[in-house]
A = this chain, B = another copy of it.
Amino acid sequence: MKLTDAKKQFISSWGAFGTHWGINKTMAQIHALLMISPDPITQDDIMDELSISRGNVNMNIRDLINWGLVDRVIIPGERKEFFTAEKDIWKVATQIIKERKKRELDPMLKLLDQLEDVEGDKKDKNVKQFVETVSGIKKFGGQADKMLQVMVKADENWFVGSLLKFFK
């Protein structure tokens, strides 16, 4: 397969993949393009490669920067801004995990704490099932939280090294 075609396929399926994970298609495609670009590229490059508008590129790049996945690069002598993405997939993954934990898991666990002590007859099966469900999720979330914290602190070797530490 030619590079041009392989690139197209990679970008398009990384985009589709992203939509299953709450990331919008264009954002994932820009990220894909940056990951396979050896050197930093400009907004215009991205507009051309993906055939999308300037505003679209600009907003999604901003999001990617907020996610900590893309950096603005100043190239001396160049007027335009350039962008580059973290290429190490382990770092990309831990960065995403870190952000999602902060944005989604932590608030959910906080809410469950409040919901757990619902007042009412503990004999009532409705109360009982509610409390059981909430505390089950809390317990599970807590475990997941611990595991993710370890993963995020460790790096390329977390698989062998750090999970063992976790079980020490």
Contact = CB atoms under 8 A, between A and B. Distances in A.
Interface string A1-35: 11100110110010001011110000000000001
Given A87-B129, A104-B20, A164-B167, A9 B137 contact: no
Copies in the complex: 2
Contacts of A59: none
A94 B152 CA distance: 22
Interface residues of A, number: 55
Given A36-B133, A143-B159, A167-B163, A17 B108 contact: yes
A82 interface: no
Interface string A143-168: 10001000000000001100110010
Interface string A44-88: 000000000000000000000000000000000000000000011
A49 to B, nearest CB: 12
A1 B118 contact: yes
B6 A115 contact: yes
A136 B1 contact: no
Contacts of A129: 36-38, 87
